[in-house]
């Protein structure tokens, strides 16, 4: 099973994992690294390294970070290794849930494809709710009058 490590500023990583587990149950081979404002980059990098080792069961690890260019992402990128560690930025709850669920399927062993699917799910789950609801309302009115 491909491991998942969530690395973010503050407590976001821990809370994302907690929320995902509240929705889909316990997630094996997942861990969170929350980087505090006071934490040295060296300490944070060691913590990320330990988390990757913990999560990896031999099939690689996907590291999810909060934003490209931030300390969590920059430190995580130092572990990028084709076929072993992949990094996806912009983590959100739908992305984490999708990755955790995909790992359970037969084809959940391809690290790069799993990371790419997580990125797609993360982007596809972002909506401008007012526009989405207005379109649904328009469709409902059209169906009533047609």
- Name the active-site residue from 9, 14, 59, 84: 9
d(CA 134, CA 52): 43
Domain boundaries, given as residue ranges, for the chain: 3-145
Q: Does 38 participate in catalysis according to the annotation?
A: no
- Residues 6 or more apart from 91 whose CB is under 8 A from it? 6, 8, 16, 64, 65, 66, 122
- Our measurement of the distance from residue 144's CA atom to the centroid of its chain's CA atoms, rounded to an integer in Å, reads 41
> pLDDT by residue for the chain (146 residues), tens digit each?
899 999 999 999 999 999 999 999 999 999 999 999 899 999 999 999 999 999 998 889 999 999 999 999 999 999 999 889 999 999 999 999 999 988 866 454 687 788 888 888 888 888 888 887 787 777 777 677 76
User: Selecting from 3.40.50.510, 3.40.630.30, 2.60.40.1120, 2.170.270.10, what CATH number does the domain 3-145 have?
Assistant: 3.40.50.510
- Residue indicated by tokens 């526009």: 131
Total-model pTM: 0.85
């Amino acid at each position: 099973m491909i491991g998942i490590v969530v690395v973010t500023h503050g407590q976001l990583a821990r809370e994302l994992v907690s929320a995902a587990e509240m929705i889909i149950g316990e997630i094996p081979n997942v861990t969170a690294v929350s980087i505090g404002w006071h934490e040295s980059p060296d300490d944070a990098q060691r913590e990320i390294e330990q988390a990757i080792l913990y999560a990896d069961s031999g099939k690689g690890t996907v590291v999810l970070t909060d934003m490209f260019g931030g300390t969590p992402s920059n430190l995580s990128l130092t572990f990028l290794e084709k076929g072993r560690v992949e990094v996806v930025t912009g983590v959100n709850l739908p992305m984490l849930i999708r990755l955790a669920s995909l790992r359970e399927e037969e084809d959940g062993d391809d690290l790069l494809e799993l990371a790419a699917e997580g990125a797609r799910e993360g982007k596809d789950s972002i909506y401008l709710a007012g526009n989405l609801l207005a379109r649904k309302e328009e469709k409902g009115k059209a169906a009533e009058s047609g």
